[in-house]
Amino acid sequence: MTNSSDRRASLIDELRSRVPEREPQAALERQRSGALLIDVREDHERAAGSPLEALGVSRSVLELRIASLVPDLGREILTLCGSGQRSLLAADALLRMGYHNVASVRGGFAEWKMQGFPFSASEALDADAADRYSRHVLLPELGIAGQARLSDARVTLVGAGGLGSPAALYLAAAGIGHLRLIDDDRVERSNLQRQIVHADARVGLFKTESARIGLQALNPRIQIEMHSTRLRAENVEALLRDSDVVIDGADNFPTRYLINAACRNLRLPWVYGAVHRFTGQVAVFDPRNIASPCYRCLFPHPPSAADAPNCAEAGVLGVLPGVIGVLQATEAIKLVLGLGQALVGRLLCYDALAGQFRELRLGRDPQCPGCAEQVGSVAYADIAAICAAP
């Protein structure tokens, strides 16, 4: 043991002879001036806390990932670990790779915390969460704070069918803390070709209950609220209220018109999705954004049933709802995190046979019957009457 300890001490001394070190105070000042601070501890170590705005890259993968993360060999880089030893090894490795403005933070995260410098920590990321969401935590745009926001989020899915199934699975896997499922249908064997959250053994169950079983098998940490009922004028606000994002997995215009009206009245963003045979489309309608159109800017009046047949009448390629549902889940996660550019004012169209996406611009219609200034608050009973008219 003595020989091993002596060799380690000798190695550390050798590293310190060629690797610059910075005290935590100096490292913080350099970071605020634009230096990149890399926390090279393992995922489970960083889950307990990490310096604010530090990039988490485990020492074991640093050499593999650094070129894509930091292509500029002249970028100032500071490495940090738990006590200041692994960070010396990491800094030495970067210097050997050609990065020439690298230093290690003396004393590591332990000294950083002791001196009272800012760091992030989330009690939600216990050992299970740190392991489960480790690939999220690695993303500097998301990290521990972003994962905590996902855990605090409430997303409502209207429909647990073709679109709701893939959307719910990916939202559950991502760690959305509270999923509310609204659907009054039961699982049929014909659903299983595309509604992947269900299983043959659960044919006959309410889709909400079947989905709960599938989602909690994937992620038992999340809360699932079930409403085995149809969205109607008399319950729409109560069912959508207090959501962070609403996802439309419906297959009919009356439900979408209700979602549109309620989300406008409650000022909730919602993610529209639709599929037909081999094509699908996605958009985001966000009444918090003054420039955002609403669903009725796209479809001012409901078409006839003959012009808009559902999947049971027209058929649908089984994988297509998976593509559109995953896109809806992506937009919902972006909205929760405030990342990227949401599909507001844009309709993303997918043609599965051509293998092509195309984007159409959606402007706000000043004469829209759903969101024009002169319209005011739309009554849900009126929506139901409009959609019931021939």
Could you give the residue numbers annotated as active site?
A: 311
CA–CA distance, 317 with 311 (Å, rounded to integer): 9
Torsion angle defined by CA atoms of residues 321, 199, 240 and 341, in that order, rounded to the nearest 10 degrees: -40
- Collapsed DSSP state (helix, strand, coil) of residue 33: coil
C-alpha 305: how far from its chain's center? 34
Rounded to the nearest 5 degrees, what angle is found at the Cα of 87, between the Cα atoms of 82 and 88?
130
Number of H helices, E strands in the chain: 17, 15
Residue with tokens 């499922």: 181
DSSP of 118-137, one letter per residue?
-EE--TT--HHHHHHTHHHH
Contacts of 310 (CB under 8 A, 6+ apart): 251, 252
Lookup: tokens for 105: 């933070």
R_g over Cα of the chain:
26
